[in-house]
Amino acid sequence: MFRIASRANTKRVVPRLSTKLLNSSRLLSTFELPENKILETIKEANTPFEGLFSNKAINELYFERGQHLVDELNRNLEASQVTGDLHFRGDLSHIISKTMNNANLYQINKNASHLHSLEFFFDALKPATLAEGKESPIQESNRESIFETPSDQDIETNMDPELVSWIEHSFGSVQEFRNLLINSAMGIKGDGVVWLVAESSMSKTYLSDEDKGLYHNLALVNTYNGGVIDGDDRSGQMGRFKKYLSDKEAENKGEEKPQEQLEMEQEEEQSEEQEEVTEEQQKEESKDSSDPLSLGSVEDAEYGHAFHDKKFVPALAIDASPRNYLLDYGVYGKQKYLENLWECIDWSIVSRRLPPRTKQAISNF
């Protein structure tokens, strides 16, 4: 299932009675900005987040933005309650997956998922300890920095040996892992997050609901604009889309079908997949029109294999959105920001978030 942040008290869900509704017995969830002790101390002491953010940036990025998201979320939740479409209870991830495929609830979904990534990102950070007399690395980058070659020498982390060995197994070495992480984040242009996830080695089809899965491999996954790593929903899309196709066929034969089945949910990955299958169907119908070039491409295969039916457990989120580096590092500072960020990752929290590692010889399927 979805793992929420490591510390149990970071999210406070306060059930309270809805005053606006006639049916006052219905419970409504409202949210507060998750508590983050490190950041709150920083805010009170008016000090920078050593090694990564200035005090002003922390205030903007966490407190101002977080509060804005929380307010918007609560406002939209309440509004949806008033219209009586649906009502939401429970934690953030529950709300995210509930609202995922409904255009009317887009605002709730977006605010909730952004809030979730924000919390997940900041929870695994800790201020770096600066060497005595060393200049603070929080500095605006200049024009010349575009030409600089990223450095990956002398990487030291306080990862525990088990995590190191898992990373070496999955990525080759800590150095390669760092390069991949930073390069993925550099590639993101707009809002987006790079996630370190543990990937279940068996497809979900073979796992029962209670089965936690076997985690054998670590991987990096990008999500954009507040997309969440939601193993359940992503993998479920495949089944739903197949159902949709069969429904569609039924519709072609003039049969009636329930409206909610029409609701097509799918991610882009699956839509590529869809194309392939549709083509195959067409091929069955008319074999003459087959085009050898449009047979399933490597991309289709990749998408099909990489996402569907895999369970992901996120362990680390690296927020690569422009706002994070613009305030302190300027337009040219993304690379520098990400390099500093690497120094501020609390690996003990990452280790704690990861599921137990399964060592096994056979992977996939």
Residues that bind another protein (CB under 8 A): 60-61, 64-65, 68, 96, 99-103, 106-107, 109-110, 113-114, 143, 146-150, 152, 179-180, 183-184, 186-192, 222-227, 233, 262-268, 271, 275, 293-294, 297-299, 321-323, 326-327, 330-332
Q: How far apart are CA 361 and CA 365, in angstroms?
A: 13
Q: How far apart are CA 115 and CA 258, in angstroms?
A: 34
Q: How far apart are CA 215 and CA 198, in angstroms?
A: 6
Task: Kindly state the helix (H) or strand (E) to which residue 158 belongs, with its residue range.
Answer: none
Q: How far apart are CA 48 and CA 54, in angstroms?
A: 4
Distances from the Cα of 232 to the Cαs of 33, 198, 228, 257, 309, in angstroms? 26, 14, 11, 26, 8
Query: Measured from the CB of residue 152, what is the shortest distance to another protein in angstroms?
Result: 7
Query: Measured from the CB of residue 39, what is the shortest distance to another protein in angstroms?
Result: 15
Q: How far apart are CA 25 and CA 19, in angstroms?
A: 10
Query: Measured from the CB of residue 279, what is the shortest distance to another protein in angstroms?
Result: 11
Query: Measured from the CB of residue 15, what is the shortest distance to another protein in angstroms?
Result: 25
Residue placing its CB nearer to another protein in the complex, 3 or 68: 68
Query: Measured from the CB of residue 119, what is the shortest distance to another protein in angstroms?
Result: 16
Q: How many of the other CB atoms lie within 10 Å of CB of 137?
A: 18
Residue placing its CB nearer to another protein in the complex, 224 or 365: 224
Query: Measured from the CB of residue 251, what is the shortest distance to another protein in angstroms?
Result: 13
Q: Which two tokens stand for residue 288?
A: 């003459």
Angle at 161 between CA 38 and CA 356, to 5 degrees: 80
Angle at 332 between CA 328 and CA 337, to 5 degrees: 50
Residue placing its CB nearer to another protein in the complex, 215 or 325: 325
Residue placing its CB nearer to another protein in the complex, 84 or 187: 187
Query: Measured from the CB of residue 169, what is the shortest distance to another protein in angstroms?
Result: 20
Q: How far apart are CA 128 and CA 160, in angstroms?
A: 17
Query: Measured from the CB of residue 272, what is the shortest distance to another protein in angstroms?
Result: 8
Question: For the range 326-332, what are the long-range contacts, defined as Cβ-Cβ under 8 Å and sequence gap of 24 or more?
Answer: 327/53, 327/54, 327/56, 327/57, 327/60, 327/61, 328/53, 328/54, 328/57, 328/138, 328/140, 329/138, 329/139, 329/140, 329/141, 330/140, 330/141, 332/140, 332/141, 332/142, 332/143, 332/145, 332/146
Query: Measured from the CB of residue 11, what is the shortest distance to another protein in angstroms?
Result: 20
Is residue 5 within 8 A of residue 123, CB to CB? The reply is: yes
**Dihedral angle sign, alpha carbons of residues 228, 232, 234, 240:** negative
